[in-house]
Amino acid sequence: MQEKLQPFETKMTKSYDALLREFGSIRAGRANPHVLDKIRVDYYGTPTPIQQVGNISVPEPRIIQIQPWEKKLIRDIEKAIQMSDLGINPTNDGSIIRLVFPELTEERRKQLSKDVKKKGDEAKVAVRNIRRDANETFKKMNKSNELTEDDQKNLEAKIQKLTDKYIAEIDKAVEEKTKEIMTV
């Protein structure tokens, strides 16, 4: 029985993990190195994640420091950050790039909270779609006599429990991220 549920549980886990990664890239007034995860730098003609071309640190709550392995990369890293949707202008002293995160305005906090809720809702829809796919799979297996009707009902109940578990996890993650954003 469990092996029939496994692929669907894996998909739900992936949906939840993707949501958490996305939340990591939403800045909440304090510096979080994960906001750089999606930014790529042109490194000898290859788009490379910033984390692979320099050392990233957070010396203060609202500052991210990037120390490139090679000094000549400073311009390329600055350019990549400016072209991203980060909305922060990098500064450098010749060897280190600094990103200073301004305090978020109340309006911006509310907008970010709405975005977080929307992303949470999208993740819940994804989980529910996985449940629907699972139930359809179980019905087909019943029709082709691979499952008894009792087994089908049992699996549907288990997939519902999994769905409820992941929906609760998503709600909790949304609540925590919203709280983090709204904290001044």
Residue 113 C-alpha from the chain's centroid: 15
What are the angstrom distances between the C-alpha of 16 and each of 28, 49, 135, 177?
20, 23, 20, 14
> How far, in Å, CA of 67 to CA of 73, rounded?
10
Give yes or no for a contact between 77 and 66, defined as CB atoms under 8 angstroms apart. yes
Strands 54-60 and 91-92: unpaired
Does the domain made of 33-100 have the CATH classification 3.30.413.10? Answer: no
Supply 124's token pair. 């819940």
Per-position pLDDT tens, the chain of length 184: 778 889 999 999 999 999 988 887 776 666 778 778 888 888 888 888 888 888 998 888 788 899 998 888 888 888 888 888 777 788 888 889 898 887 778 888 888 888 899 999 999 999 999 999 999 999 999 899 888 889 999 999 999 999 999 999 999 999 998 888 887 6
CA distance 122 to 1: 29
Pairwise CA distance, residues 144 & 140, whole Å: 6
pLDDT given for residue 48 in this prediction? 87
Tell me the whole-structure pTM to 2 decimals.
Answer: 0.69
Task: Tell the CATH topology of 2-24+105-182.
Answer: Topoisomerase I; Chain A, domain 4 (1.10.132)
Any idea where the domains of the chain sit in the sequence? Answer: 2-24+105-182, 33-100
**The pLDDT value given to residue 168:** 95
